[in-house]
Amino acid sequence: MNKPMYTWMLFVYVFLGWGASDNAIFIRDASRHPIWRNVVQWIVRFRTVWLLIGLLLGIVGILYVNNVLFFFVPPLVVFTLALALTLGPIVVEERTKLSWEPLLTVPYDMRTILLGKASGALWHIRFLTYVMSILLMCVSAGVGITSLMLIPVGITRTSGWYELGLCGVLLIMPVLGSLLFILDRMQHYALMAVAALASGTAAPSIRAALSTATAVVLLIWLFEIAVTEAFLTVEQGGTWQLNYTRILSIATLGPIVSYISRMDLSHAALFIAGTLLLREMLICSLWRWTLHSARH
pLDDT of residue 158: 46
pLDDT of residue 156: 45
Average pLDDT over residues 108-124: 90
Amino acid identity for residue 85 in this structure: L
Average pLDDT over residues 3-14: 80
pTM: 0.86
At 147, the pLDDT band (50, 70, 90 cuts) reads low
Asked whether residue 80 carries a pLDDT value surpassing 90, the answer given is: yes
Give the single-character DSSP code of 186.
H
91 phi and psi angles, rounded to 5 deg = -90, -45
Among the residue ranges 78-82, 120-124, 166-170, the one predicted with the least confidence is: 166-170
| 158-200 tens-digit pLDDT | 444 445 455 555 667 777 778 888 999 999 999 999 999 999 8
Average pLDDT over residues 69-73: 81
pLDDT of residue 38: 72
User: What is the C-alpha to C-alpha distance for residues 190 and 194, in angstroms, rounded to an integer?
Assistant: 6
Amino acid identity for residue 204 in this structure: P
pLDDT of residue 152: 45
CA distances for 113 relative to 14, 20, 64, 150, angstroms: 11, 11, 47, 45
At 279, the pLDDT band (50, 70, 90 cuts) reads very high
- Alpha helices for 71-205 (secondary structure H): 73-87, 90-96, 100-103, 110-122, 126-150, 152-156, 163-201
pLDDT of residue 164: 46
Asked whether residue 228 carries a pLDDT value surpassing 50, the answer given is: yes
The domain ranges of the chain are 7-295
User: What is the C-alpha to C-alpha distance for residues 195 and 213, in angstroms, rounded to an integer?
Assistant: 7
User: What is the C-alpha to C-alpha distance for residues 88 and 282, in angstroms, rounded to an integer?
Assistant: 18
Asked whether residue 10 carries a pLDDT value surpassing 90, the answer given is: no
Of 270, 274, 228, give the one whose Cα is nearest residue 253.
Answer: 228
User: What is the C-alpha to C-alpha distance for residues 275 and 182, in angstroms, rounded to an integer?
Assistant: 14
pLDDT of residue 198: 92
pLDDT of residue 103: 87
